[in-house]
């Protein structure tokens, strides 16, 4: 079995590669060329969750074992941590066990990168709310998928922003200016793309439709039915609510609430995969906001895990152990 550490994963995968793999993953999803059992959620304590996410696709069996612990916001530990295991689909052989904490951050950002590339490739300004590990990689995906020149960052704990900026500049050699702002309104006013990457249970951007004209809003953080980062009026004013997975309609408050409450017509909730393969169209000339929500799925983890395994194997990265 090939064991891949965080550093091994980092060596094996660039953000551009990750975005390209996720773009193809959307095509696989649209063609339904996979088997994906429901992911298992188990509450460990309060809002802290343990998840099992299996998928059989191409020549692999992928399994992600992951924890999401919002309680780590007060500790020196990532909110999301995990491992990804890859098995041979033909024989069942254990092929690889890899760091899933970094790979999940890269993969989730790459999914957003596909949406940013599709809807706002020419964008020059990005706004990020939330300065955790996921926020860092969301910005790396934005750099790779748009023409970003300036990034605006807001966090409800402002003192975290300086260390976040230092971490960001360690990860990229791009000369992109990162500006800390004092309010969410200031961030929205200056940004063509707004990314929310928090563990909030309630909306983190204003309930004012006039703020979002012509913008792309990317919702990343919420993944359970009691979590919602995005406000009611945003759903009411968007002609297209784009999601990455049908499963989100029964798992995530940011998708469940607007549909159940009638804030958006269910016919206007579309899969990004359908747009990518041409099954659905959208009016690119409209100045109304577009909202993209990612909840991710095991298919994405299996495909990117299999890609990393094969790339590491080709480049002789990692440690082979007998189990």
Q: What is the mean pLDDT of the chain?
A: 93
Same domain, 202 and 265: yes
**C-alpha–C-alpha distance, residues 239 and 286, integer Å:** 9
Same domain, 116 and 38: no
Token pair for 246: 């049908």
DSSP state of 69: -
Burial class, 14, CB count within 10 angstroms (exposed 0-12 / middle 13-18 / buried 19+): middle
Task: Kindly report the pTM of this predicted structure.
Answer: 0.92
Contact 239, 280 (CB under 8 A): no
Q: Could you give phi then psi for residue 42, rounded to 5 degrees?
A: -140, 125
Contact 20, 37 (CB under 8 A): no
In this predicted structure, what is the pLDDT of residue 283? Answer: 79
Mean pLDDT of 184-189: 95
- Say whether pLDDT at 253 is over 90: yes
Same domain, 220 and 302: no
Mean pLDDT of 99-122: 95
Pairing between strand 269-271 and 177-180? unpaired
- Say whether pLDDT at 223 is over 90: no
Same domain, 223 and 119: yes
Pairing between strand 60-68 and 48-57? antiparallel
In this predicted structure, what is the pLDDT of residue 199? Answer: 86
In this predicted structure, what is the pLDDT of residue 71? Answer: 85
In this predicted structure, what is the pLDDT of residue 280? Answer: 87
Domain with residue 73: its CATH number is: 3.30.1780.10
- Cα 260 → chain centroid: 24
Q: Could you give phi then psi for residue 220, rounded to 5 degrees?
A: -115, -40
Domain with residue 148: its CATH number is: 3.40.50.720
CB atoms within 10 A of CB 17: 17
Same domain, 246 and 167: yes
Same domain, 38 and 177: no
Same domain, 128 and 251: yes
Question: What are 262-300's pLDDT values in tens digits?
Answer: 999 988 999 999 999 998 888 777 789 999 999 999 999
**C-alpha–C-alpha distance, residues 59 and 34, integer Å:** 10
**C-alpha–C-alpha distance, residues 158 and 181, integer Å:** 9
Total residues belonging to the chain: 323
In this predicted structure, what is the pLDDT of residue 78? Answer: 79
Same domain, 133 and 89: no
Same domain, 180 and 289: yes
- Say whether pLDDT at 132 is over 90: no
Binned at pLDDT 50, 70 and 90, residue 52 comes out as very high
- The string of DSSP letters for 167-198 reads HHHHH-----EEEE-S-HHHHHHH-SEEEE--
Question: What are 13-33's pLDDT values in tens digits?
Answer: 999 999 999 999 999 999 999
Half-sphere exposure of 174 (CA within 13 A, CB side): 19
Binned at pLDDT 50, 70 and 90, residue 156 comes out as confident
| Structural domain total, the chain | 2
Mean pLDDT of 101-121: 96
Helix H or strand E segment including 49: strand 48-57
Same domain, 245 and 114: yes
- Say whether pLDDT at 159 is over 90: no
Which residue is listed with tokens 């607007």?
A: 258
Burial class, 37, CB count within 10 angstroms (exposed 0-12 / middle 13-18 / buried 19+): exposed
CB atoms within 10 A of CB 114: 26
Contacts (Cβ under 8 Å, ≥6 apart) of 62: 54, 55, 56, 84, 85, 86, 87, 298, 301, 302, 303, 305, 306
Same domain, 179 and 156: yes
Same domain, 230 and 276: yes
* Structural domain span for residue 170: 109-293
Token pair for 34: 């996979």
Contact 113, 145 (CB under 8 A): yes
Which of 114-128, 158-172, 212-226, 240-254 shows the lowest per-residue confidence on average (mean pLDDT)?
158-172
């Amino acid at each position: 079995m090939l064991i891949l550490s965080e550093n091994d994963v980092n060596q094996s995968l660039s953000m551009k590669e990750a975005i390209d793999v996720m773009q193809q993953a959307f095509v696989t999803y649209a063609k339904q060329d996979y088997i994906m059992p429901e992911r298992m959620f188990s509450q460990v304590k309060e809002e802290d969750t343990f998840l099992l996410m299996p998928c059989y696709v191409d020549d692999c069996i992928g399994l992600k074992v992951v924890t999401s612990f919002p309680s780590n916001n007060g500790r020196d530990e990532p909110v999301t941590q995990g491992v990804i295991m890859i098995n041979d689909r033909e024989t069942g052989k254990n092929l690889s066990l890899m760091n899933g904490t970094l790979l999940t951050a890269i993969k989730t950002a790459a999914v957003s990168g596909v949406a940013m590339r599709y809807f706002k490739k020419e964008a020059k300004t990005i706004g990020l709310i939330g300065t955790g590990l996921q926020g860092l990689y969301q910005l790396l995906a934005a750099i790779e998928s748009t023409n970003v020149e300036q990034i605006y960052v807001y966090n409800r704990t402002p003192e975290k922003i300086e260390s976040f900026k230092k971490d960001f500049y360690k990860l990229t050699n791009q000369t992109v200016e990162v500006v800390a702002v004092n309010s969410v309104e200031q961030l929205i006013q200056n940004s063509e793309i707004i990314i929310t990457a928090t563990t909030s249970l309630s909306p983190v951007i204003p309930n004012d439709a006039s703020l979002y004209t012509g913008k792309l809003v990317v919702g990343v953080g919420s993944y359970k039915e009691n979590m919602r980062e995005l406000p009611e009026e945003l759903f009411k004013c968007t002609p297209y609510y784009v999601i990455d997975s049908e499963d989100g309609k029964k798992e995530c408050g940011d998708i469940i609430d607007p549909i159940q409450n009638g804030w958006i017509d269910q016919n206007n909730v579309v899969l990004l995969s359908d747009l990518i393969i041409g099954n659905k169209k959208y009016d690119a000339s409209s100045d109304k906001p577009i909202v993209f929500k990612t909840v991710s799925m095991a298919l994405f983890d299996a495909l990117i895990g299999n890609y990393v395994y094969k790339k590491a194997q080709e480049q002789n990265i990692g440690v082979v152990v007998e189990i």
